[in-house]
Amino acid sequence: MAAVRHLDTSAIAWQRQGLIPGYAPELGQEAAQVGSGYAVDTTRDFVFPTYREMGVARAMGVDMVAYMSTHKATWHGGLYNPLESRLAPIQAVVGGSVLHAVGWAHGQTLAGNADGRLGVAMTYFGDGASSQGDIHEAMNFAAVMKAPVVFFVQNNGWAISVPTEHQVAGGSVAARAAGYGIPAQRIDGNDVVAVVEATRHAFAHARAGNGPALIEAMTYRRGPHSTSDDPGRYRSLNEERDDAGEDPLERFRKRLLADGVADEAFFAEALAAAKAEEELLRAGVQELGSRPGNEMFDLVFQETTPALQAQAANWREESEHV
């Protein structure tokens, strides 16, 4: 969590310094992301992220330079290998990753598994995305077909500038799951231990062939929605401080100290390691070169179309003068 926090705040600085053009911070959501990502079995499961799951990717052991290539606009979706990492390409379309996850999970059901233990898909979305029609179609399909998928909702209190209570009917996202017969857990998303336990429970439910499960992790987005957002236009710093609650890192730190699991030297070492890691990642991101422009056309469809061929020809004529 310390490494994720340091990289997250550093990425904002990278954007301000011109190293990357944009970034979606996750300050305050580290427990929800690291705890859920830690529970994934990367030998059989698959995770379908949005554009804000850096902590999940870090917890799953994804190459973070390759992950950050999306934020440098070097590559759309990340340069890491989805099949090896078990993390699908980063999805910028709100709600899009949920549809992909349900499709993959249904494929697991159709394919079966030699030992009877299904691979499980986990998909992320926020309280704002939960109001999208695609989310409801995905949940209904998953429930009807008993697809092994975990819907992981990070309820951070805001759909960009709109507070949850102004756009989620029914009291909670978890309450909506009941309408589809999907068991749901509404948990403290700032308690990393609770997140790990809830995620493992949901995975066990889905892996046993019982269909989907939903987790609504209650957390808080401290800071902007993205590096182009100004949260001061829709909430004050006092409101942010009062509503955010205790910092999830400080909370876990107190628990580890109280349990005698860690001491101050451990935390100093963790911070030093986080800083060293961030420096390596920064250097790696700086060294990322441009990709060949023809990839915009070559990697769209397995079999190209006349319209795409015409666009590619126009692009070559304008950019390469051929």
Catalytic residues: 221, 225, 234
Under a CB-based contact definition with an 8 Å cutoff, are residues 158 and 246 in contact? no
Closest by Cα among 169, 31, 50, 34 to 100: 50
Under a CB-based contact definition with an 8 Å cutoff, are residues 98 and 136 in contact? no
Q: Do you know the residue count of the chain?
A: 322
Secondary structure (3-state) at 153: strand
User: Which bin fits 211, alpha (ψ -120 to 50), beta or left (φ > 0)?
Assistant: left
Closest by Cα among 110, 106, 105, 76 to 90: 76
Provide the token pair at 80: 């890491």
Residue 42's Cβ-side half-sphere holds a number of Cα atoms within 13 Å equal to: 18
Cα distances (Å, whole numbers) of residue 198 to 70, 128, 203, 214, 239:
30, 22, 9, 10, 29
Provide the token pair at 124: 């992320």
Closest by Cα among 180, 94, 157, 102 to 131: 94
Provide the token pair at 2: 């310390």
Provide the token pair at 215: 């987790």
Q: Indicate the residue type of 14.
A: W
Task: Report the alpha-carbon angle 308-314-318, nearest 5.
Answer: 145
